[in-house]
Structure 1
């Protein structure tokens, strides 16, 4: 199978390319560094020619009000190129619960991305995943100082990027879902719990303080960021992943 991977040099994209290549597929990473810029459209002319599947793993550089314009433009460019080059399946990676947190500009932008794909001219699949393990440490920096880390007690069910990448690769080589596949990690934590686990593993003496107004995830109501009942759950635990990190 011939697969064009937009954003193929990023955290998920590079792993997806490696998985697909190891399975005998021809997976081509497309990124500005290889002359293909999905935002400007540069290099897209003919870039998807011969591809059976195109997967879009690019991401907005910001989480703010500029993110909807990024996804509008990049999806318009991708779908036009996919239609022009006769691609039979388009795949994107989205977020579990993304349509239930309208207060967040970035989540509204990802909903827009999903809608553009759903109403587009190409059979499609949407993979929704919970938060990446790799993303959690950076969340701690948003509302931290020298003595404390303020985090909301928001329930989350994170998973390893390696498990997400494998699941995305499985969808890529299958038939178009024309719908959504949900993924989640094996354990549910509150965000403040995860903060304490990370700080303890690092020997960081700062105190984690519950602040249900702190950071982006404070806007998420209830357990909307945890995996729904139909989700496929991964097996790598957070502590197992954390033990592999330097």
Structure 2
């Protein structure tokens, strides 16, 4: 059920559209887009999974089984023998599942939906290899605009998993590098100027000095969540605490409208 390319689609030409019609309830339906490669359209996948789960819920052999899914990741609740029945059911639909323990020592280092499990599966961490790629990226010499953006794009908007200021500066540098290229009418293969290179190196040093921070994976529904906000002239920030642990945080740059509202 690999749908990593699910959102890539190609618009069909008029002739191909005529060859891809289906008749349903007396009406002709035409495909205007096709999936790229072997990917599955997200909506189609959700229909397939919902049907498989609906069939599963009607099976008397699996009473009270909890099944949740997101993209190509299934979280199964129940007894081990029930889970084997679930795997057999999905296999009968042509979907073959593998099971992994998401809690306990074996969960440490496991990648789930782009996040790395740590603390015996109780916390989430930015994948170690992503952090290593960013801090080991060689910018000792001048690099091109394309390479500079490659460095900045290694990290995504994982506000909960990175220390303060890392992503704010990254986003500003991404805009700066792109703007410099456009203003100077340079090619993507041209070198970035010395001032921008100095800013890139300082950001990488900041990242080296501030490694990713784990975020707690679970919350207790009976315990309160405390959310704090703070702001400066240019930035806003919020952090949510639960049982003395951070469960959510974000930092953002004020838009012109937000800044005017904040000042007033």
TM-score when normalising by structure 2? 0.25
Q: Which has the higher contact order (CA 8 A, sep 6+)?
A: 1
Larger Rg: 2
TM-score by length of 1: 0.27
